[in-house]
Amino acid sequence: MERFDVAIVGASIAGCMAARCYAEHPLRIAVLEKKPAIESYKVLCTHFIQPVALPVLRRYKLDRILEDHGAVATKAAFHTEAGWINPAGPYSNDPAQAHAYNIDRQTLDPLLRAQLLDHPAVALRFDSPVRCVAVQDDGRYIVHYGDEAAPRSIDAALLVAADGRQSTVAKLVGNQENRYDNERAVYYAYFDGIEPPVDNRSLFFLAHAEMAFVYPLSAGRTLLCVAIAKERAKRWRSDGNLAARILEFYEQFPDVPALSRARCTSRVFGYADYPNISREPVWKNIAFIGDAALSLDAMAGVGCGFAMVAAEMLVDSTAASLGANGHLALALEAYRKRFAEVFAPHARAIMGDSLMPRSATELIRAQELFAHMSRDSELQDKFISLTGRLISPQKFQLAYLSALSKSPRPRA
Ligand SMILES: Cc1cc2nc3c(=O)[nH]c(=O)nc-3n(C[C@H](O)[C@H](O)[C@H](O)COP(=O)(O)OP(=O)(O)OC[C@H]3O[C@@H](n4cnc5c(N)ncnc54)[C@H](O)[C@@H]3O)c2cc1C
């Protein structure tokens, strides 16, 4: 049987990034993908890559490759009831955290796989759904994959599940999912005839508890996406013509790019229900990365970036331990800890934001926050950094509390 150091299940963002990072080490890597070809891609995604992923993209020189293929460097700007949160300049003066990207998955997924195709250390296999995994006495894994009638098998020291939200590996080995409500539905479509916003900003319009996005893409295309209450989504579905409903939704906002010449060039994609899901990042000495470990509300737009960062984190924690005398279990524990440290605070905050406000007080608190931010440029920078996942929610909260304590108290 063929022997590998690492077997990765799934050749999408998390799996390809992990393979790319492991390939810098003297290791043999197998990547097993159930989809049929390099051109396959994840259809359901609005593909905003947060700046938290820029360091890993730069480390492996993927930033240039993405830009050469049409990735649009961008930064988030938010329109709130108190006005714009749109500080000038990049996310950060550090070029490694300067911007986000918009790049369609149709381009991104094949590009990431192309980095592995001719690599001598990587065996990338399509049409290879993993069906069964078994652990041996020495702790190595046997992975059975491919056609049910003629299954093939490989043997690997480390098994990595990068097989997405519905993770087959998690089901096979009993890594249970935890589900948390998401009270919004999402619909989006691609348009042309919309001028890109100034500086290629990606615009987020907030209305009470709902949101509308404008993402500039390459070749004059724009992605319009709305995250709306489920009741509204239900009405839209029964009314029909979702593309028209999406465009109408933007009419309530000021400063929206002109939509009079917007022409929908795709079908409307989206979901009616998409709970947040988390699993253990390490289970029975198997590593879980990307959506297989943490799949959050699409409104936060963090899944692609987090998948890249988790892949790098796993490889940095484990690559040196995959040799003959390595302590793989300890290395996996280091990955588990790091994963929890970095992602858990964001996950908790995003899961909270997935719920609609429960009371008028909650709505008023959000309005107060935005009103305060509109007068405080430092806090605006911090907010934008938080949404790019460059700082933790706690760091933002501390900055907000400190700003509140300095602001003049209203007279009694
Ligand atoms: C509507 C929507 C909008 C989104 N918008 C954004 C956004 O703007 N920004 C953002 O960062 N994130 C966004 N996300 C989330 C993002 O799409 C995911 O977080 C991201 O794709 C996770 O990457 P992954 O590699 O972990 O998993 P996936 O991309 O799901 O890849 C899993 C791979 O595993 C393969 N696979 C599955 N089972 C098997 C098996 N048994 N054997 C072999 N291979 C298998 C699959 O074919 C697939 O290629 C959005 C999600 C949705 C639903």
pTM of the predicted protein model: 0.97
pLDDT above 80 (res 96): yes
pLDDT of residue 411: 54
Average pLDDT over residues 300-311: 98
Question: What is each CA distance from 139 to 131, 311, 327, in whole angstroms?
Answer: 19, 22, 12
Q: Please give the Cα distance from 112 to 340 (Å, whole number).
A: 26
pLDDT of residue 139: 92
pLDDT of residue 407: 75
pLDDT in tens, 255-266: 999 999 999 999
Same domain, 224 and 156: no
Three-class SS state of 116: helix
Give the confidence band of 56 by pLDDT, cuts at 50, 70, 90: very high
Give the confidence band of 324 by pLDDT, cuts at 50, 70, 90: low
Three-class SS state of 397: helix
Express as a percent the part of the chain with pLDDT over 90.
Answer: 89
Quote the tokens at residue 296: 């959050």
Q: Which atom of ligand 1 is nearest to the CA of 295?
A: 19
Q: Cβ(130) to ligand 1 under 6 A?
A: yes
- The residue whose two tokens read 């192309």 is 114
- Find the length of the chain: 412
- The residue whose two tokens read 């006495």 is 137
Express as a percent the part of the chain with pLDDT over 70.
Answer: 98
Same domain, 340 and 208: no
Burial 201-210 (b: 16+ CB within 10 A, else e): bbbbbbeebb
Q: 155-159, 184-188, 255-259, 400-404: which has the minimum mean pLDDT?
A: 400-404
Same domain, 250 and 189: yes
Same domain, 170 and 31: yes
Same domain, 252 and 401: no
pLDDT of residue 366: 83
How many structural domains does the chain have?
3
Q: Are strands 76-80 and 202-207 parallel, antiparallel or unpaired?
A: parallel
Q: Which DSSP string do the residues of 135-163 spell out, in sequence order?
A: E-TTS-EEEEES-SSS-EEEEEEEEEE--
Q: Tell me the CA–centroid distance for residue 95 and ligand 1, in Å.
A: 27
Name the domain boundary from 238, 255, 271: 271
Average pLDDT over residues 157-172: 98
- The residue whose two tokens read 């107060």 is 368
Closest listed residue to residue 222, CA positions, set 253, 252, 248, 201: 201
Q: Tell me the CA–centroid distance for residue 290 and ligand 1, in Å.
A: 8
Q: Considering the chain, what is the average pLDDT of its residues?
A: 95
Same domain, 191 and 160: no
pLDDT of residue 19: 98
Q: Is residue 22 part of a domain?
A: yes
Three-class SS state of 74: strand
Q: Please give the Cα distance from 276 to 203 (Å, whole number).
A: 24
Average pLDDT over residues 140-157: 94
pLDDT in tens, 10-30: 999 999 999 999 999 999 999
Question: What is each CA distance from 167 to 148, 172, 225, in whole angstroms?
Answer: 18, 9, 26
pLDDT of residue 55: 98
Average pLDDT over residues 30-35: 98
Residue ID of nearest Cα to ligand 1 atom 18: 303
- CATH number for the domain including 20? 3.50.50.60
**For the chain, what percentages of helix, strand and coil (3-state, to nearest 5) are there?**
40, 25, 35
Residue 379: φ, ψ to 5°:
-65, -35
- The residue whose two tokens read 């078994």 is 134
Q: Tell me the CA–centroid distance for residue 164 and ligand 1, in Å.
A: 5
pLDDT above 70 (res 37): yes
Same domain, 305 and 165: yes
Same domain, 215 and 260: yes
pLDDT of residue 262: 97
Average pLDDT over residues 271-293: 98
pLDDT: which is higher, 324 or 252: 252
**Best of 16, 20, 32, 34 for a ligand 1 pocket test (most atoms within 8 Å of beta carbon):** 34
Q: Is residue 89 part of a domain?
A: no
Same domain, 264 and 285: no
pLDDT above 80 (res 363): no
Q: Is the Cβ–Cβ distance between 85 and 76 less than 8 Å?
A: no
pLDDT above 80 (res 225): yes
Tell me which residue range forms the domain holding 150. Answer: 2-42+107-180+276-351
Residue ID of nearest Cα to ligand 1 atom 15: 303
pLDDT of residue 410: 54
- Which residues lie closer than 8 Å to 261 by C-beta, 6 or more apart? 193, 194
Q: Please give the Cα distance from 293 to 277 (Å, whole number).
A: 8
Q: Tell me the CA–centroid distance for residue 406 and ligand 1, in Å.
A: 43
Q: Please give the Cα distance from 258 to 147 (Å, whole number).
A: 51
CA 254 to chain centroid, in Å, comes to: 29
End-to-end Cα spacing for the chain: 79
